[in-house]
Amino acid sequence: MTITREDIAAFADGELSGERETEVAAAVTGDAELAQQVQRHRALKAMLAEHYAPVLGQCAPERLTSLLAQPQPAEIVDFAAARERRESRRRLPHWGWIAAPALAASLVLAVFLPRQGGEASPYVDTQLAAVLDDRLVAVQSPREETRVILSFRSEEGRYCRAFSGRAGSGIACRDETGWKLEALGKGSHGDPTDYRMAGAGDAEILALAQEMAAGPALDEEAEKAARARDWR
């Protein structure tokens, strides 16, 4: 029986049931490596949950709750389009074990800002490059000034890393020159418990990362291997 990364992620999140849950549980019990993968998934999920706990405990700003109180026009649902969107989501890699804590905070979404043209360099500065070069997702404190949220391979085969910090969140992909910025989210230089900084940009970045990725997010061992190859 083949156990995929998607199976491990779903099992770690408690999303399997019936016969498949029994099969995966038996495989995890009898295989130390699979058991370690489950532990890594759960540890990362717990770390992200701790990071987003402050924002989940806050009330939404009045400027947003007031929008919910305004009467909205009736929506005409295109069931064919809705069915297609549902099927498209099923074909995406299973990233729920990473994205769920951030998406839970997505009531307040930052405006997503693609990298604009101009004189500014499209590559990250040396300080952020050092973080992206060396830091592993599972081996970092949630209180780091700049955190790496996840790593993945893009459709073009490049290694990409999503990050979040006081100056904002974003995605950078490694090429021959360095870490090239592919997207920037709206950030905040305020207190680290500020509502917008703590949850809004990260949710947008995670959603975009899932669209860009050619497969599941890298686990700790895959990140170590990529780092040893200088992310190339």
pLDDT tens-digit map of 50-83: 766 666 666 766 766 666 665 555 555 566 666 6
For residue 66, being part of any structural domain is answered with no
For residue 76, being part of any structural domain is answered with no
Query: What is the mean predicted confidence (pLDDT) over 173-200?
Result: 63
- Rounded to an integer, what distance in angstroms lies between the CA atom of residue 163 and that of residue 85? 27
Collect all residues with Cβ–Cβ distance below 8 Å to 20 and sequence separation of at least 6: 7
Tell me the whole-structure pTM to 2 decimals: 0.50
Domain interval for residue 50: 5-59+84-228
**Backbone phi and psi for residue 149, each to the nearest 5 degrees, phi listed first:** -85, -45
Residues of the chain with pLDDT > 70, as a percent, come to 63
Candidates 121, 155, 128, 150; CA nearest to 138 is 150
**What is the pLDDT at residue 215?**
86
Query: What is the mean predicted confidence (pLDDT) over 180-208?
Result: 59
Q: Is the pLDDT of residue 102 over 50?
A: no
Question: Is residue 141 exposed (0-12), middle (13-18) or buried (19+ Cβ within 10 Å)?
Answer: exposed
> CB–CB of 209/219 below 8 Å?
no
Q: Give the lowest-confidence range in 9-18, 20-29, 101-110, 220-229.
A: 101-110
Q: Among all chains, which residue has been given the structure tokens 């360099």?
A: 121
Strand stretches in 154-192, DSSP E: 159-165, 168-174, 179-184
- Taking only the tens place, the pLDDT of each residue in 111-149 is 333 444 455 678 999 999 999 999 999 888 877 888 899
> CB–CB of 189/153 below 8 Å?
no
Q: How confident is the model at residue 100 (pLDDT cuts 50, 70, 90)?
A: very low
**What is the pLDDT at residue 64?**
66
Candidates 104, 130, 136, 121; CA nearest to 202 is 104
For residue 153, being part of any structural domain is answered with yes
Q: How many domains does the chain have?
A: 1
For residue 69, being part of any structural domain is answered with no
Q: What is the mean pLDDT of the chain?
A: 75
Question: What angle separates helix 18-30 from helix 5-12, to the nearest 10 degrees?
Answer: 100
For residue 65, being part of any structural domain is answered with no
For residue 75, being part of any structural domain is answered with no
**What is the pLDDT at residue 67?**
63
Query: Which amino acid, one-letter code, is at 116?
Result: Q
